[in-house]
Amino acid sequence: MSRKYFGTDGVRGRVGEPPMTVDFAMRLASAAARVLAPQGGTALIGKDTRVSGYLFESALEAGFVAAGVDVLLTGPLPTPAIAFLSKQIPRAFGVVISASHNPYGDNGIKFFDSDGGKLSDELEARIEAELEQGALTLTSDRLGRVRRADHLRDEYQKYCASTVPEGFDLSGMKIVIDCANGAGYKVGPRLLADLGADIIPIGCSPNGRNINDGCGSTAPGLLQLTVAGVGAHLGIALDGDGDRLVLVDHLGRVVDGDQLLYVIARARQETGELTGPVVGTVMSNLGLELALRERGIEFRRAKVGDRYVLSMLRETGGIIGGETSGHILCLDRSTTGDALVSALQVLAQMRRSGRSLAQLVADMRKFPQVLLNVKVARRFDPQTVPAVMAAVADVERQLGDSGRVVLRASGTEPVIRVMVEGRDEAQTQACAELIARAVEAAS
């Protein structure tokens, strides 16, 4: 079933432009109510800190109540918190108002089912079909009710703390946490402080317009300077909705999602908990694959996007997967990517092993990776162009077993993405440029 509004992660766009309008949000809530709660139920609504979150929260609330669905409003809370809480409340489903790591001018709406998972393509298509009917308003005796549910933040915090061994504490550790002025700005610092850490919070002063603005996992520069400046053991950076994680070691060096996957997978292997392969994406660094192979851990690659990583984990029986961006899945602990849960897994391994973050990632050597976005006159599949594939074959001969080439056509713009990895940085750059020239010539 085709979908017009739902993308890979819910509905998303510029605020004030279709579909991110008040009218659409109200119709979407009414349609979702008819599909997800035809006999009534509860919509658990969370959001990040964008100023537009207020208007979409009100519109969704009106649409759900008018369709006979009760509403619980959590206020700002990470996306994975809503996924977790959706499982705890009878006959509930989750709704998150967020555009994740995007600027404040964007926003989005995504749903979680009663098991804390993202909706299937089929359910999203059914919701879209219901949009044609407009918003439903029942009689007064059948309307839903609305309650504030700020207390659920504490339930989520307790859950996060339960994902590490009993008795775990962070006493004696100085940690800088950057919450991107986003959804985790309250629960993140409180969680770490309650576990005994000495906390230095940054990016925890949202004003509705500064989410992801020069801070958080997409811009860790300030965190790097702060960690080194205050002599912290490490830094933690979330994105705007709290599902992506980047760390900074005590030397101020960024530790990305590939390195975090390595640390968490090794931890699970050492405790005997690891099952199935570790799943990354076609863009995951070759160094991750080789480092895991040296440890006897199978590695698989999925298409880019956390839903594809999740799908492959379920198919193969794996529990650990993620993307270079820091969207980490620990399915033995959570149903979706959770930055705070993932950070705690790394902190637990630091405590258990007695090693610093820098020491934990030292065994994984990242290969130089060059990514070029080649603009083309028209969209085309580079795999079907003989001249491009000849250039790829030439590069693969040069790199041998110590390199990798990935060609991807963008799904949203006339761009071909050329990614080359190799042991030598200069050679890798030259190889990427060789393929990019072939792509340009083909367009």
What is the spatial order of strands in the sheet that 403-409 belongs to?
369-375, 415-422, 403-409
CA distance 319 to 171: 29
What is the b/e burial string over 262-277, where b = at least 16 CB atoms within 10 angstroms of the residue's CB?
Answer: bbbbbbbbeeeebebb
CA distance 385 to 439: 9
State both tokens at 199: 């906390």
CA-based nearest residue to 9, from 79, 93, 105, 91: 79
What distance lies between CA 96 and its chain's CA centroid?
13
Region at 299 (left for phi over 0; alpha for psi -120 to 50; beta for the rest): beta
Residues whose CB falls within 8 Å of the CB of residue 33, separated by 6 or more in sequence, listed in order: 43, 63, 64, 67, 68, 69, 136
State both tokens at 346: 């790394």
Cβ burial of 2 (10 Å; 0-12, 13-18, 19+) is exposed
State both tokens at 189: 């610092």
- Return the active site residues: 100
CA torsion angle 393 395 401 402 (round to 10)? -160
State both tokens at 238: 């979330």
Q: Provide DSSP, 19-79.
A: TSSHHHHHHHHHHHHHHH-TT--EEEEEE-S-TTHHHHHHHHHHHHHHTT-EEEEEEE--H
CA-based nearest residue to 368, from 422, 406, 419, 433: 422
Helix axes 187-194, 339-353, angle to 10 degrees: 20
